[in-house]
Amino acid sequence: MKRLVFFLTLPFILSQARKASSQPDEHVTASHEPAQPKVTALSQVEVQALLAKRRSEKREFVCFTGPGRACRLCRDTEARTADDQCAECNPGYKLMVTGMCEAFDCDPDYITGCYKCLATHARTREGQCGVCQKGFALTASNECRQLTCTEGDDGACAKCRPQHELTKDNQCVTCKPGYKQNTDHTCSELTCDLTEMENCASCRAQKELTADNQCSECTEGFQLTESGTCEPFECQTGPDEACRECAAPEDRTGENQCSACNPGYALTARSCEALTCLEGEGSLCAKCEVFEKRRVVDQCLTCNQGFKLSADSKCVPFSCSVGAEDKCRICTQPALRTADDQCYQCNPGYRLNMDLKCEPFPCDEGEGAKCKTCRELASRTAPHQCSTCNAGYGLVDALVCKPFLCSPGPNGGCKACKAQKAMTAFDQCAACNDGYFLTSEFTCQLGSDNWASNSKVVRYAKQAMRELVNKLDRNSDGSIDKGELDESSINDAIQRGIAGLRGGIIQGQVDPVPAVVFGAADVDGDGALSRAEFEALEARESQRQSQR
């Protein structure tokens, strides 16, 4: 009898225990389930003990259905492996793999924008909200969508309401130009209807509207006001007005439109504009023309420093150009100029004169000058800088050609200087004092360097002269007339003589040499040729040949 009572009361006890353990939290909205009788819930330990005892007795698994329960339809008895295994769940529950029905979960603390969850029986999935927080809107699928508001070009708001104050999308504090604010704090476009306005030819652009029905252009004879309305044009004349004659009313497109102006005014597009002129410090004019005589704006009588008077009586700045092709590298400050092209710094090759103008560094070249060729203009840093010098001049450190100098006398080696035009360096000598010999650079050094003895030279001099005469006496009359003394014949004879002399000396011999060659080579007149004298002679003849 006791066992029968236990089995009859156990399903009800378990049902009450499950119901107590699955009560929805305080944030869940009240359901519409029918009220159940109040019973005292068993502890978890007591429930487990009862279940364990029942399993030990190998009883049949039970399942309950109905409103307020998890199961809508139980599993077949033979298919159950535990109590309350369902085939289908009631609304608000989901069927688990264990066969149990569990309520769809919802916790507003973990759902964005949710203030209170949807009642359990009304849920069809997890996380369905019933009431949203401020600034959110409840969707048809019971989600909380954050309300939005767009400012600037892509929206109507100039400034949106704070997020927590939004009750719908795009609610504004202020509207952007071309929009007006509605009672629900949204902004709508302003409109303009030409049929509702008088004398309006066209409406303002949408973004320029500050109220409905504002014009941007009026019909002929009317003027546009700041508020966008059209009013008739006016025009005044007289000695104290700009207009001397007004334009015809039908031609006016604005107030005080004229056909002729009083003195001191200029007509521009039917408008008489005063010919203004500023004078004094900080202006172009030092003194302006009197108002009644002005023909143009800023018509001056005199100009301030840095400016000059143009042909139309305007003060224009003195010009100054800079660049690689100009003389100026840096111009003088405009306010300091007293003429055109006044420079503060010049480009390479130019110098600044007393008038603050850049002029090229001068340089004379050619015959009669020191320079044979001048240095390129862009490379000059001072006047008369040369690239090469004329004969008798040498290039010194400052790129200046100075005459070659020589100081002969008994106290040095130099007995006689070379001719100034023949010099190629400073202190070049033509003859040396006793005890010195002339080098190939035409300097005098201590010692002797005779390499062709006097006796040998004397022995061949007469023979060489005879051979030279025979070569030059082309008509074989025993004498040399003026016609036979042409330069080419003499040069040819001298060249052969030098070649023979050089070859004979190298081999230890002295071949016949023309006397004129010997005389020219024997600079010091001692009857013998030193090595320096011969090398100098050879150099001169090589130069002569290269110039032919």
How confident is the model over 18-77, as pLDDT tens digits? 444 444 443 333 333 444 444 455 666 776 777 667 666 667 888 888 877 889 899 988
Residue with tokens 């009750």: 167
What tokens does 38 get?
Answer: 């109040």
Q: Residues 394-438: pLDDT tens digits? A: 888 778 888 988 888 888 789 999 888 888 888 889 999 988 888
- Give CA separation, 462 vs 465, 479, 508, in Å: 5, 16, 20
Q: Which amino acid is at 544?
A: R
Q: What is the dihedral of CA 457, 458, 460, 465, to 10 degrees?
A: 110
For residues 201-218, average pLDDT: 90
Alpha-carbon Rg for the chain in angstroms: 62
Helix 2-21 crosses helix 44-56 at what angle (to 10 degrees)? 140
Q: When comparing pLDDT for 9 and 168, which is higher?
A: 168
In 3-state terms, the chain is what percent helix, strand and coil (to 5)? 25, 25, 50
Q: Cα–Cα distances in Å, from 496 out to 137, 469, 480, 519? A: 122, 14, 19, 16
Domain ranges of the chain: 2-103, 194-232, 328-360, 450-547
Q: Which residues contact 50 (CB under 8 A, 6 or more apart)?
A: 10, 13, 14, 42
Average the pLDDT over each of 190-194, 200-204, 522-526 and give the range with the smallest value. 522-526
Q: Can you tell me the distance from the alpha carbon of 248 to that of 368, in angstroms, rounded to the nearest whole number? A: 83
Q: What is the C-alpha to C-alpha distance for residues 537 and 522, in angstroms, rounded to an integer?
A: 9
Asked if residues 314 and 286 have their Cβ atoms less than 8 Å apart, the reply is no
Q: What is the mean pLDDT of the chain?
A: 79
For 291-331, the pLDDT digits (tens) are 988 889 999 999 998 899 999 899 999 999 998 888 999 99
Question: How far is the C-alpha of 88 from the C-alpha of 464, rounded, in Å?
Answer: 148
Whether the predicted model's global pTM rises above the 0.75 cut: no
Strand partners, 395: 401
pLDDT tens readout for residues 270-287: 999 999 999 988 888 999
CB atoms inside a 10 Å sphere around CB 253: 17
